[in-house]
Structure 1
Amino acid sequence: MCSGGRGFMVCSGWAWPHAVVCSGWAWPHGVMCSGWAWLHGVMCSGWAWPHAVFRVGVASCCDVFRVGVAVCRHLRLLVPVLLGYLEVGDPPEESVRLKMLEVLQSTIRLAWPRMASRADALLRSLLRLLVDVSADPGLSDSVRLQLMEGSSASLRLLDAATQRRVQRLLLQVDSRHCSPQVLCCLATVTAEREHT
């Protein structure tokens, strides 16, 4: 349950101090941790938390389907938070990255008409994630496979949301600078072009 502006927020057993409140924005009394108030609190302060424990806590209760189509109103704040979470690893389980890939996929499904303007930033971040994961020797094969499959699924959804623009951009990727694992993931996205 969320409390007033100077209180704290408890969500899935995690408590965050009043830092959740950003620039004087106060939580309405009696608002449960669902909907726009919850999302606003996560977006305003969640990305800045340097400690992995807080990031795992935010990721564990981050469910965009609670907000629904209203997530479109929050894309300006939500997309940088998602990209920030995808950049920082939490080995060996990579639970935060896996959860954020799920949130990104849900966001793309819910806000697909507005993804065209954000496609470049999302594509850049997903490609960076693929390259980082493929080159990380500390990841187990199962975790690496999960991250690469999640990234591929996100790329396919983004491609569908942008009317095949992602496929056109991926065809321009220089294959000499990519590992075979990354090329295999990219092939799953560009292969759809040959079938359609």
Structure 2
Amino acid sequence: MELDSAREARPQEGSSLSGEWSRSALGQAFSKILHCLTGQEARLGKARDAALKDLGALIEDTECDKLFEGSGAPLRGMPEILGQVAKALEKYAAPLKEEDSRGEGHNQVAAKATEVGLLFHKLLGKVEASKNSLVCPEWKTSLRHLAGPIYIFAITHSLEQPWTSPRSREVAREVLTLLLQVTECGSVAGFLRGENEDEKGRFTTIMGLLKPDLNKESWKNNPAIKHVFSWTLQQVTRPWLNQHLERILPPSLLISDDYQTENKILGVQCLHHIVLNVVVLLCLLDLFPVLEKAQQWKGDGARPTTHCDEVLQLVLTHMEPEHRLLLRRTYARHLPAFVKRLGILTVRHMKRLERVITGYLEIYDGPEEEARLKILETLKLLMQHTWPRISCRLVVLLKALLKLICDVARDPNLTPEPVKSALLQEATDCLILLDHCTQGQVKGLLANIPQSCDDTKVVNCIRKVQQVSEGAPFDGT
């Protein structure tokens, strides 16, 4: 393939800008290579080989600030073009459909993968060099476009499969190692889920790239896809996997439903991982009534302890000392379901529930306040189901709710207004329920607050409690 127009735009040898490209010429050069890799020309071996050779030269020749420049081409920036090139390279190196991979097919795929892997290695090397450059801040944008396709390539060819060779696996693993280095991730799990709670991770991006090849019509066109999906899925555990259920469950069911035993096993492994790391508690709650049919209470003596009691006791044991916000949110998300299932029998766990509820209400939970909202929901259910045991806990619960209302009302920046409103409303509903459970004691204890408090939000919450207690209808009980 000739890149005449692009090469004409390059500076002459010996000039101070030797080795650099003009913005438009560089964009045109990459666009032509992309067209050659994805268009009709891709079927012609010579044109494709020339495109790959030109791509290697372009990567080596181009300075980082030009290579990752945000406005390097008309209509599209270089980061997006590089991302499209990376996707094309990943597809080029992908293994053939099983029935098409006869004779030398697997050897050809391994050779392609080695060639593409070396190109990815060069490209990631440029990104790594750009990280220390003050004149090239756009490398982060380029990396966002490159990371997904390069990851899929690396996993496709680093696992021992029929379409890989020792050399292609070695190159793919080197690419994966460099990708983790460039993205400053200590592991593949960290790359996918994020290295810390504030980082989003790239699991959603990877699943989005795999999705077109994971439907009923297409998932067998590339024999590597199921393995990349399965291996990637199993790197992400709880609580990070919870938010991705709608992305991971359909492909797992699709693979497990296949007639081939190998695929059935792979799909079941995916489903097993999902159950263990996403829906295990809810699944257990559905299974308990079946498992406990033989333990029906006949009214003589104390009710037997159930599996649900044992699991809730274990959950509360882990909840109480937990300080990591992601795990606190996960535990709190499931707590209301246990109270609903146990009903009045939740009194068996009152002391520990009280400590968990008051402890979790004290801690700010991030912008969405998911944990504290779920704990307030749990408290409402607890008072509804165990109201005869609430009076003796009046002081503890009242202090915790008032402190929460004051903290939220006085929070100037951290929490969005809709979330603040939801917290204040839920806390007010809890105060109203607490007043009902204690025959109006809350109303008496709060009587003087409106006169001595100058915070409008706090006063409004107290007045709502007083108004409902005086006879206005309340739909929370």
The percentage of aligned residue pairs carrying the same residue is: 31
User: Per chain length, whose mean CA-contact separation is higher, i.e. which structure has more relative contact order (CA < 8 Å, sep 6+)?
Assistant: 1
> What displacement does 1:193 show?
3.9
Sort the Cα spacing of 1:10 and 1:105 in 2 relative to 1 into closer, same or farther, 3 A. Answer: farther
Residue 392 of structure 2 aligns with an amino acid whose one-letter code is S
Match of 1:77 in 2: 352
Unaligned stretches of 5+ residues in structure 2: 1-274, 282-290, 293-305, 473-477
- Which residue of 2 is the match for residue 150 of structure 1? 426
Per-residue deviation, 1:13: 4.3
Structure 1 residue 192 displacement after superposition: 2.7
Alignment of 1:171-190 (within 5 A): 171-173=447-449, 175-190=451-466
Summarize the Cα distance change of 1:77–1:178 in structure 2 as closer, same or farther, 3 Å threshold. Answer: farther
Q: Does 1:45 pair with 2:321?
A: no
| Inter-partner Cα distance in structure 2 for 1:68 and 1:36 | 11
Cα separation, 2, equivalents of 1:79 and 1:11: 27
- Which 4+ stretches in 1 moved above 4 angstroms? none
Q: Distance in 1 between matches of 2:420 and 2:461?
A: 12
2:329 paired with 1:56: yes
CA contact (8 A) 2:432 2:469 kept: no
1:112 correspondence with 2:387: yes
The amino acid across from 1:59 in the alignment is A
Structure 2 equivalent of residue 195 of structure 1: 471
- Relative distance call for 1:34 and 1:109 in structure 2 (3 A) is farther
Instruction: Answer yes or no: is the 8 Å Cα contact 1:133–1:144 preserved in 2.
Output: yes
| Structure 1 letter corresponding to 2:421 | L
In 1, are the aligned partners of 2:450 and 2:459 still within 8 Å (CA)?
Answer: no
**CA distance in 1 between partners of 2:307 and 2:416 (Å):** 34
Distance in 2 between the 1:190 and 1:173 partners?
A: 11
Mapped partners of 1:129, 1:107: distance in 2: 18
Q: 1:136 aligns with which of 406, 411, 414?
A: 411
What is the count of residue pairs matched by the alignment? 173
443, 454, 468: which one aligns with 1:167:
443
Once residues 185 and 135 of structure 1 are traced to their aligned partners in structure 2, the CA distance between those partners, rounded to angstroms, is 13
Q: Is residue 2:308 matched to residue 1:35?
A: yes
1:10 Cα shift?
Answer: 4.4
**Hey, what's the Cα distance between the residues in 1 that align with 2:431 and 2:278?**
30
Post-superposition Cα deviations, 1:161-195, rounded to whole Å, max 9, x if no partner, equal: 01001111111336433410010011011113443
Pairing 1:127–2:402 present:
yes
Secondary structure in 1 aligned to 2:365?
Answer: coil
The residue identity in structure 1 corresponding to 2:368 is: E
Q: 3-state SS of the aligned residue for 1:44?
A: helix
Map Cα deviations across residues 60-83 of structure 1 (whole Å, 9 max, x no partner). 211211221100111011111111
Q: Which runs of 5+ in 1 are unaligned?
A: 1-8, 16-29
8 Å CA contact 2:376, 2:427 repeated in 1: yes
Contact 2:435 2:441 in 1 (8 A): yes
Q: Give the letter aligned to residue 111 of structure 1.
A: T
- What amino acid is the match of 1:123? L
Work out whether residues 431 and 465 of structure 2, in 8 Å CA contact, stay in contact via their aligned partners in 1.
yes
- Alignment root-mean-square deviation, CA: 2.3
Separation in 2, partners of 1:175, 1:100: 30
